[in-house]
Amino acid sequence: MLRRINQVLPELLCGIIIYGALIQAAGIWFAEDKVRYTTGLWAGIILAMGMAVNMAVVILDTVDAMAEKRYYRKAALYAVLRYLAVVFAFVVVWYFELGNVIVMFAGVMGLKIAAYLQPITHKFIVTMRGKNSRSHENKKR
């Protein structure tokens, strides 16, 4: 389903999750409060994934509206709402002390890191699919 929205969205989400796992594995050893570190990080990762899906949907809607020669103001509205949702999530996590907001910010930055590394993620996934399909074909013989 995600591939119907945007061809690279599944790879982007995969990159965000891998980034989160790496940050979790690397940073958990240095965190004083491991529970708040983990909840903050994964709250940020979930926010990053939500932002990625939202941006892909807004881009798809905008392209469709432009193809029909309609004026489309929703893209700007959704961008503002997306950032207000992120600020709201940060305030909730900070106010109720649900997680570390600095690590949460690092989790949200997973969206940027995954976007930069998407070509590498794409090559990795294509390589893994090729190996899996060849090994599957060899088993059939």
Residue 95 belongs to a domain? yes
pLDDT above 80: residue 140: no
- Looking at every residue in the chain, the average pLDDT score rounds to 89
Residue 130 belongs to a domain? yes
> For 110-137, how does the pLDDT look when each residue is reduced to its tens digit (9 = 90+)?
999 999 999 998 898 889 888 776 655 5
Rounded-to-integer distance, Cα 24 and Cα 37, Å: 8
Rounded-to-integer distance, Cα 24 and Cα 34, Å: 10
Residue 1 belongs to a domain? no
Contacts of 18 (CB under 8 A, 6+ apart): 114, 121
Residue 2 belongs to a domain? no
Query: In the numeric block, which tokens belong to residue 117?
Result: 């590394």
pLDDT band at 76 (very low <50, low <70, confident <90, very high): confident
- Cβ count near 10 (within 10 Å): 15
Contacts of 9 (CB under 8 A, 6+ apart): 2, 3, 52, 53, 56
Residue 140 belongs to a domain? no
Q: What is the pLDDT of residue 134?
A: 64
> For 82-110, how does the pLDDT look when each residue is reduced to its tens digit (9 = 90+)?
999 999 999 999 999 999 999 999 999 99
Query: In the numeric block, which tokens belong to residue 126?
Result: 């294509």
Note down the domain range covering 32: 8-135
pLDDT band at 68 (very low <50, low <70, confident <90, very high): confident
pLDDT above 70: residue 48: yes
Residue pair 140/76 in contact (Cβ under 8 Å)? The answer is: no
- Cβ count near 34 (within 10 Å): 12
Q: Which of 125, 115, 122, 123 is nearest to 55 (CA)?
A: 115
Residue 106 belongs to a domain? yes
What is the count of structural domains for the chain? 1
